[in-house]
Amino acid sequence: KLEGLKTIAVTTNGINLTRLLPRLKEAGLNAINISLDTLVPAKFEFIVRRKGTNLSSKATVLILAEVCLLYLQVNCVVMRGFNEDEVLDFVDFTKDLPLDVRFIEYMPFDGKHCCFEILLGQK
């Protein structure tokens, strides 16, 4: 309700989104970025470190795309040796959905040096 405020967005892995969505929409939410790095259930559970969540983000994406009430974007961090073989699967999964998918390059960080220093070999 702030003057000039046009977008209220949230970035989420989608685990609790369907439960929280009605309250978030009441608060003015109108854009969602879903982090979905894999379409493989076991890999998804590994990433979120929770059992039983194997399809929640994929299902959430489908539900939100079907309802199509909000701007929806899927962010996928592509990691060599983990999910780079799924890029075409993501394209196929999202090609007919009303959303944008962004493939983001994995940027290593060792806790001491900026990822740019690592990439430039300056650490």
pLDDT digits (tens, 9 = 90+) for 46-71: 777 777 655 556 667 776 766 656 78
Residue type, 28: G
Neighbours of 32 (CB within 10 A): 23
The pLDDT mean for the chain works out to: 77
pLDDT at 21 over 50: yes
pLDDT over 70, % of the chain = 72
pLDDT at 118: 47
pLDDT at 85 over 90: yes
- Residue 7 makes CB contacts below 8 A (sequence gap 6+) with 30, 31, 71
In contact, 21 and 63? CB cutoff 8 Å:
no
In contact, 94 and 76? CB cutoff 8 Å:
no
pLDDT over 90, % of the chain = 5
Mark out the alpha helices in 1-119 (DSSP H runs). Answer: 17-26, 41-48, 56-67, 87-94, 115-119
